Structure 1
Amino acid sequence: MYIKKNSLGMLLQFQETPDSVIEHYLTPCLDRFEKFEPHIHAFIHEENRETRILRDIEALKRKFTDVNKPPLYGIPVAIKDLFHVDGFPTHAGSELPHTVLTGEEGSLIRSLREKGMWITGKTVTEEFAYGGLIPTRNPHNLNHTSGGSSAGSAAAVAAGICPVAVGTQTLRSISAPASFCGVVGFKPSKGRIPMDGVILLSPSFDTAGFFTQDLPSMEYVSAQLIPEWQEFQSDRKPVLGIPNGIYMNLMFDDVRTAFQEQVKKQEESGYKIKRVDMPWSDEFIYGDDMLRFVQGEMAIVHQALFEEYKDIYGLGVHNAITAGFGIDDMELERYRKGQISLRNDLSDIQEREAIDLWISPAQGGTAPLWGEQTGWAGMTAIWSYAGLPTISIPSMTVNDMPLGFQCIGSYGGDEELIYWSKQVSKALNPDYKTKGTKKS
């Protein structure tokens, strides 16, 4: 196992001596990178990485000379290689020339710099966040995948190389890696984080998010990096909802057993749980409409590049873009209207049933073997389609591999989601284990 603790839990100890934050993280970051990175392959190769980091830290100290440092001062962060970062080429997991992909930094990267963070490196992603074999291994077991497409970001946090990493999600790209690597993965509501300066896959889905090792760290980072964050508190337990229908069948039997045990623990802890008929059809959950939506928008995003470099695209991405060219504007517009309709329907149900959070496993199974698939969209895609915020909490071990407990909030209710997820997590048993590999 290549796991090390490296959360933000000690951060408050350094408020009066903020330069100690740099010293607290710098040496472990460099040491753990040297020790673990040759095995987990979380980062894009960078020549003279350590020299660049030391230079950046000296520039950080010169920039923030006041006693009162910004709230994230001295904290290292890893960035998924879909984000443009000044001084780094953008490859996006692709063989296309980086000169045609690299662009200017966007709002999120500028914000984390202004809050005092330093960049430990860019992390591995599947080709254009869609597909393709990647080198990243799961720090819990190198024979398994760390997920996709934010694989490198999740693995870097799980290995303790950095306490925070940035990723993106279209259908499952934060939730799956977080679940498989045993870290917290937060996908905010669609639109809460500006997506300028990012190579998009499907603009109607794509959302930036974060990985940390624990929920307090996630709350702290989100409060600093998500615009217009409002502190939320409540003196009651949230009401939890579980979808009826095929949704809860999209998992392996051992995962279902583990989840049922966790639901029982929630009930024993005083949580009210409702099983609710959902405003979607089983056919939509189980069908390919959401994938067609992604491929159709993908074709639009890549049209100009594809005309010139189509022979360089990997086979999976090439085929997806080609399929997307066959999806017309009327079909795409129907999907976009469906997003808003579903979002409103879910809001109505939550209000009518007094449900604060939806809950489910974050993935239908634990991490597949490396070289096979990198996750399943069944437990995550519908929430991404609706634009709702989701969080994967490290909560259980199945067949000696991590699996996340997923909480889903209301649209725009990101603050409530994280606050209540901290409550819900107290009733979860992270040492729960079950055996078996039967699939329903």
Structure 2
Amino acid sequence: MLSLLDLRARIDAGTLTPHGAVGLAREAIAARDDAVRAFACLDPRPAVAQEGPLAGIAVGIKDIIDTADLPTGMGSPIYAGWRPKADAPVVARLRRLGAVPLAKTTTTPFAFLDPTATRNPRHSGHSPGGSSAGSAAAVGAGMLPLALGTQTGGSVIRPAAFCGVVGVKPSFRLLPTVGVKCYSWALDTLGLFAARVGDAARALALLAERPGIDLVADTGAPRIGVVVPDFCDEAEADALAALQRAARAAERAGARVHDLSLAPLFGEAFACHPVIQDYEARQALAWEYAHHREALPPLLRAALDAAQDVGTDAYDAARRTAHRARRSLKDVFGEGDVDVILTLSAPGAAPEGLASTGDSRFNRLWTLMGVPCVTVPVETTGGGLPLGVQVIARFGDDGRALAAARLIERAVG
């Protein structure tokens, strides 16, 4: 895979130019994307900055994020060829840092569940996940060193795990969602994909203008609580084994590791996620539903049909439960002898076939809580499919989540 830090080190050493680094990405795309199908469109003549901390870094932009020089199609024929007049702020920030938004990556339509044509770069017969399918697959295939995605349920963490890359869902609103097609304003979160934890930490620190995210020192003995939520359907044996392998590796590296149980309130909050998501989605996509319902793909159309019956009383009650759970999660970190939580990224490896993007049940609670999440590749199944684990820290402690993820990454080799 292309590493952001490796490319930048070569540029700083004078052995690679920014044009040359972007050229490596373009060559990889030409060689591999016919099989992976990660891109909605490419910039044929990108402007390449010579200065900036991300000069020479080609970036994939999920195709629900506005770009002024490339179409933003939302994964839907309703927006085919649509050209925003302005970059989303996160894209403008990338350009100021010297990065090259080289391509729009595929998204499930409006970032819901109906799959794209993108294939898993590790096994073409399996799903890359979703909704940020193209971003995860492009990094996993070694075509880009960095890509942006979004998460409303599990749309960064899950595809990152399926494609064997690092995925980061930052603290809620750490990165601006202005210029991103909304599905749920209380849940939508910008995230990113990279080859390694260090690459992701550097990119997030620069995008958020918070250098401390990349400077959190390894504590040497982080306190890690291992969580297997009892309010979710059980995970597959391979995923549980990967979680235990990561926990034991972290312990050997000096971490203090113990099992952690969550109070029943978190199960109640987990059940509130779809209520909040559906209530807000029926408003966020009201125009598309009213004027183009038949052009919506089947899973999204059915979800919006059902969402018309979600009332304000249920929505307000769900928000109150979520708020209580967020306050209680502060106590888990504050009183539970825990610096970070280690849990599952997905129920198992990427599912076979392209009819499903997989299940987000091990992601939705943490999205609702607004806390930073990092998925780290741990191992592969006998069939060569990646398995990852998810590291979670308290709200605003993105640097600690990344530091613990880096410890696990090193520990598992």
Which has the larger displacement, 163-172 or 6-15?
6-15
Matches within 5 A, 1:168-187: 168-187=150-169
Change (3 A) 1:280 1:39: same
d(CA) in 1 for partners of 2:324, 2:119: 39
Aligned to 1:263: 247
Change (3 A) 1:189 1:380: same
What does the per-residue CA deviation read over 1:388-423, in whole Å, with 9 as the maximum and x for residues that have no partner? 110011111123210112101110100111122212
d(CA) in 2 for partners of 1:151, 1:103: 25
Change (3 A) 1:299 1:101: farther
Which amino acid counterpart does residue 37 of structure 2 have in structure 1?
H
Aligned to 1:241: 225
**Secondary structure of residue in 2 paired with 1:44:** strand
The answer to whether 1:315 aligns with 2:311 is no
Which amino acid counterpart does residue 393 of structure 2 have in structure 1?
G
What does the per-residue CA deviation read over 1:342-393, in whole Å, with 9 as the maximum and x for residues that have no partner? 1211111111122011001211110111323212212111111101110011
1:223 is matched with which residue: 190, 197, 205?
Answer: 205
Q: What TM-score do the two structures reach when normalised by structure 1?
A: 0.88
Which has the larger displacement, 312-321 or 274-283?
274-283
Which amino acid counterpart does residue 356 of structure 2 have in structure 1?
Q
What does the per-residue CA deviation read over 1:265-290, in whole Å, with 9 as the maximum and x for residues that have no partner? 33333322222231345753775x32
Aligned to 2:100: 118
1:294, distance to aligned residue in structure 2 (A): 1.1
Aligned to 1:72: 54
Structure 1 residue runs of 5 or longer lacking an equivalent are: 62-68, 430-440
Which amino acid counterpart does residue 238 of structure 2 have in structure 1?
D
d(CA) in 2 for partners of 1:26, 1:243: 40
d(CA) in 2 for partners of 1:346, 1:282: 9
d(CA) in 2 for partners of 1:261, 1:249: 21
The answer to whether 1:162 aligns with 2:162 is no
d(CA) in 1 for partners of 2:238, 2:77: 39
Aligned to 2:280: 297
Aligned to 2:405: 421
The 8 Å contact of residues 363 and 380 in structure 1, kept in 2 or not, is answered as yes
1:196, distance to aligned residue in structure 2 (A): 0.2
2:359 is matched with which residue: 376, 394, 404?
Answer: 376
d(CA) in 1 for partners of 2:316, 2:81: 33
2:6 is matched with which residue: 9, 20, 44?
Answer: 9
The 8 Å contact of residues 8 and 56 in structure 2, kept in 1 or not, is answered as no
2:185 is matched with which residue: 175, 193, 203?
Answer: 203
May I ask how many residue pairs the two structures share in their alignment?
410
Identity over aligned residues, as a percent? 25
Structure 2 residue runs of 5 or longer lacking an equivalent are: none
The answer to whether 1:27 aligns with 2:29 is no
What does the per-residue CA deviation read over 1:251-308, in whole Å, with 9 as the maximum and x for residues that have no partner? 1122223322332333333322222231345753775x32232111100101123211
**Secondary structure of residue in 2 paired with 1:9:** helix
d(CA) in 2 for partners of 1:322, 1:311: 12
d(CA) in 2 for partners of 1:310, 1:96: 10
Which amino acid counterpart does residue 85 of structure 1 have in structure 2?
T
1:95, distance to aligned residue in structure 2 (A): 1.6
**Secondary structure of residue in 1 paired with 2:6:** coil
d(CA) in 1 for partners of 2:185, 2:276: 10
Aligned to 1:353: 336
d(CA) in 2 for partners of 1:356, 1:295: 32
Aligned to 1:277: 261
Matches within 5 A, 1:54-93: 56-57=47-48, 60-61=49-50, 69-93=51-75
The 8 Å contact of residues 229 and 415 in structure 1, kept in 2 or not, is answered as no
Aligned to 1:143: 125
Aligned to 2:396: 412
Q: What TM-score do the two structures reach when normalised by structure 2?
A: 0.93
1:160, distance to aligned residue in structure 2 (A): 1.4
1:72, distance to aligned residue in structure 2 (A): 0.8
What does the per-residue CA deviation read over 1:217-266, in whole Å, with 9 as the maximum and x for residues that have no partner? 11111110014342322543210012365157631122223322332333
Which has the larger displacement, 233-242 or 150-159?
233-242
Aligned to 2:322: 339
d(CA) in 1 for partners of 2:229, 2:350: 25
The 8 Å contact of residues 192 and 227 in structure 1, kept in 2 or not, is answered as no
The 8 Å contact of residues 138 and 180 in structure 1, kept in 2 or not, is answered as yes
The answer to whether 1:193 aligns with 2:175 is yes
**Secondary structure of residue in 2 paired with 1:168:** strand
Aligned to 1:64: none
d(CA) in 1 for partners of 2:91, 2:58: 13
The 8 Å contact of residues 361 and 406 in structure 1, kept in 2 or not, is answered as yes
What does the per-residue CA deviation read over 1:61-88, in whole Å, with 9 as the maximum and x for residues that have no partner? 5xxxxxxx22111211000001000022
The 8 Å contact of residues 394 and 402 in structure 1, kept in 2 or not, is answered as yes
Change (3 A) 1:101 1:118: closer
Which amino acid counterpart does residue 407 of structure 1 have in structure 2?
V
Quote the RMSD (CA, aligned, Å): 2.1
1:330, distance to aligned residue in structure 2 (A): 2.1
Which amino acid counterpart does residue 283 of structure 2 have in structure 1?
I
Aligned to 1:38: 34
1:143, distance to aligned residue in structure 2 (A): 0.7
d(CA) in 1 for partners of 2:275, 2:167: 26
The 8 Å contact of residues 137 and 370 in structure 1, kept in 2 or not, is answered as no
d(CA) in 2 for partners of 1:285, 1:146: 28
d(CA) in 1 for partners of 2:266, 2:397: 26
The answer to whether 1:251 aligns with 2:235 is yes
